[in-house]
């Protein structure tokens, strides 16, 4: 999910075109992240870009991974 952008029909809708960046701290390795091909860093911030229509799902996923969202900012086309 890191660095992904909206693709397909979600990108053509107004809500799918609005992107937000989450700054997340405290992600930890657990059963769910063990399926990834990479380790989760315990320190530092991770930035996750999500479309507006997936914000709630991503917040729930971050909570399951033990992370804490410290900042949410809209991304503009400027």
Using alpha carbons only, give the angle 5, 37, 21 rounded to the nearest 5 degrees.
30
| Residue spans per domain, the chain | 9-75
- The residue with tokens 């063990």 is 34
Residues 20/49, Cβ–Cβ less than 8 Å: yes
Bridge partner list, 11: none
CATH topology of domain 9-75: Dna Ligase; domain 1 (3.30.1490)
Residues 58/50, Cβ–Cβ less than 8 Å: yes
Q: What pTM was estimated for this model as a whole?
A: 0.63
- The residue with tokens 């701290």 is 25
Helix (H, G, I), strand (E, B) or coil at 65: coil
Q: What is the pLDDT of residues 21-54, one digit of tens each?
A: 999 988 766 666 666 666 655 557 888 999 999 9
């Amino acid at each position: 999910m890191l660095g992904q952008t909206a693709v397909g029909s979600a990108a053509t809708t107004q809500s799918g075109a609005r992107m937000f960046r989450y700054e997340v701290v405290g992600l930890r390795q657990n059963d769910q992240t063990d399926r990834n091909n990479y380790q989760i860093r315990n320190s530092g911030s991770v930035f996750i870009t999500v479309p507006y229509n997936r914000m709630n799902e991503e917040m729930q996923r971050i909570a399951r991974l033990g992370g804490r969202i410290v900042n949410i900012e809209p991304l503009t086309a400027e």
